[in-house]
């Protein structure tokens, strides 16, 4: 499958990985918009939040717990941070593999 995030999770493409287990990988965004900006993805190819299926419930829950853990490791948990998933053209989704942006390390505004 021609998906850059599948290639990152298969180690066919390099990435600055900050967390990995058998189901999830978290790596630094190549174009960060804040001092801390990582992308948390399931290794399973799911195109977006709208393609999550009932059988993915445990995986998506696990992904949220990983976001908690990574936020602590990055040291943004006390000051706060933002988790965003873009969906479709109006959401400006550019990579069609489910990913959650974890953004922090500075004061965010609603327009980021
Ligand atoms: P979205 O626009 O929500 O689909 O987000 C895709 C994100 O992936 C953008 O913030 C890009 O900067 C990031 N991105 C694209 N290619 C790579 C890559 N090879 N490694 C890390 N981040 C990437």
Is 45 in the active site?
no
Predicted confidence (pLDDT) at residue 105 exceeds the cutoff of 80: yes
Phi-psi region of 18 (alpha: psi -120 to 50; beta: other; left: phi over 0): alpha
Cβ-based neighbour number of residue 38 at 10 Å: 25
Q: What is the pLDDT of residues 46-77, one digit of tens each?
A: 999 999 999 999 999 999 999 999 999 999 99
Query: Can you read off the two tokens belonging to residue 78?
Result: 């006390």
User: What separation in angstroms does the CA of 48 have from each of 23, 53, 88, 96?
Assistant: 16, 11, 8, 6
Task: Tell me the CA–centroid distance for residue 95 and ligand 1, in Å.
Answer: 7
Predicted confidence (pLDDT) at residue 94 exceeds the cutoff of 80: yes
**Contact residues for 11 (Cβ-Cβ < 8 A; gap 6+):** none
Task: Tell me the CA–centroid distance for residue 84 and ligand 1, in Å.
Answer: 13
If one residue of 8, 26, 31 were mutated to test the ligand 1 pocket, choosing by the most ligand atoms within 8 A of its CB, it would be 31
Residues with CB under 6 A from ligand 1: 4, 13, 15, 27, 29-31, 39, 86, 92-95
Query: Can you read off the two tokens belonging to residue 60?
Result: 């998506």
Distance of CA 100 to the CA centre of its chain: 3
Predicted confidence (pLDDT) at residue 11 exceeds the cutoff of 80: yes
């Amino acid at each position: 499958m021609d998906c850059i995030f599948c290639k990152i999770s298969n180690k066919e493409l390099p990435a600055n990985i900050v967390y990995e287990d058998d189901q999830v990988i978290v790596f630094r965004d190549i174009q960060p918009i804040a001092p801390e900006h990582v992308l948390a993805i399931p290794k399973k190819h799911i195109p977006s939040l709208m393609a999550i299926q009932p059988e993915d419930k445990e995986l998506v829950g696990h992904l949220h717990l990983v976001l908690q853990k990574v936020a602590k490791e990055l040291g943004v948990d006390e000051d706060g941070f933002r988790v965003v998933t873009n969906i479709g053209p109006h959401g400006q989704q550019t990579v069609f593999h489910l990913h959650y942006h974890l953004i922090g390390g500075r004061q965010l505004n609603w327009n980021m």
